[in-house]
């Protein structure tokens, strides 16, 4: 459904991206922010699903500054390699690249950001630091607790797995305490990466409910023009 394209960030960095458009007139735009595994098959599939829901979806390749077109699977060896990209994350650079994707979509109407894992944290930071973002949806963002003192400028929704071995429930409770302005959901029996049907941690029931909630959130925030 989608196609590759090139974006240009504010510092003139050129990065790849994947874009999927709906069959009819877009109801708005959604920036899809990757996990540490790059704009891989799963992230492209998320874009396609968002396009099927009526939005233009665009996933910027945030690791192009280090390794162009990096994509990864989920074997232990691949996970170990991918984690090296976030040993010292440059959040500001990734936000510039996310902003470039939002800029590409802004002519279509309101723009939201949805992100997974690393991308979940970036979705939250997009809500707090970027101008013109209409909504943010954050799936198991491991860094959100660290930035929870920052106030989102737009409606923000979060999804966490109760059995996430990377994000303890104490961190989620800290986020709840600091960010009562955010909509936060916890899924019983779900672990980290529960939304990805290509990972062993996939939790079908939680993924279906989280996706339903995400689409309803986007509908309310940007889907009515």
Instruction: Identify the active-site residue in 21, 64, 97, 164.
Output: 164
| pLDDT one-digit tens code per residue, 16-67 | 999 999 999 999 999 999 999 999 999 999 999 999 999 999 999 999 999 9
Helices (H), the chain: 41-52, 76-83, 91-105, 118-129, 169-178, 204-221
Tell me, yes or no, if 21 is annotated catalytic: no
Which domains does the chain show, CATH number per domain? 3-221 (3.40.50.1820)
Q: Given a cut of 70, is residue 225 above it in pLDDT?
A: no
Q: How far apart are CA 81 and CA 96, in angstroms?
A: 24
pTM for this one?
A: 0.97
Q: Please state, in angstroms and as integers, the Cα–Cα distance from residue 85 to each residue in 72, 96, 175, following that order.
A: 12, 17, 25
Instruction: Identify the active-site residue in 42, 47, 64, 117.
Output: 117
Instruction: Identify the active-site residue in 192, 195, 196, 203.
Output: 192
Q: How far apart are CA 13 and CA 65, in angstroms?
A: 8
Q: Given a cut of 60, is residue 73 above it in pLDDT?
A: yes
What 3-state DSSP class applies to 183? strand
Tell me, yes or no, if 138 is annotated catalytic: no
Tell me, yes or no, if 195 is annotated catalytic: no
């Amino acid at each position: 459904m989608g196609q590759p394209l090139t974006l240009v960030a504010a510092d003139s960095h050129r990065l790849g991206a994947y874009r999927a458009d709906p069959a009819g007139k877009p109801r708005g735009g959604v920036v899809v922010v990757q996990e540490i595994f790059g704009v891989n098959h799963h992230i492209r599939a998320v874009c396609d699903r968002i396009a099927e829901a009526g939005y233009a979806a665009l996933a910027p390749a945030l690791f192009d500054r280090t390794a162009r077109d990096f994509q990864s699977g989920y074997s232990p060896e691949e996970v170990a390699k991918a984690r090296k990209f976030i040993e010292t994350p440059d959040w500001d650079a990734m936000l510039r690249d996310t902003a470039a994707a939002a800029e590409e979509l802004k002519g279509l109407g309101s723009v939201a950001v949805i992100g997974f894992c690393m991308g979940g944290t970036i979705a939250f930071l997009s809500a707090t630091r970027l101008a013109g973002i209409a909504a943010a949806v954050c799936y198991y963002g491991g860094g959100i607790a660290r930035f929870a003192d920052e106030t989102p400028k737009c409606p923000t929704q979060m999804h966490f797995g109760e059995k996430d071995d990377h994000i303890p429930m104490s961190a989620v409770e800290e986020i709840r305490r600091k960010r009562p302005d955010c909509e936060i959901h916890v899924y019983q029996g779900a672990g980290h990466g529960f939304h990805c049907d290509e990972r062993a941690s996939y939790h079908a029931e939680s993924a279906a409910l989280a996706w339903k909630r995400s689409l309803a959130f986007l509908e309310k925030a940007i889907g009515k023009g």
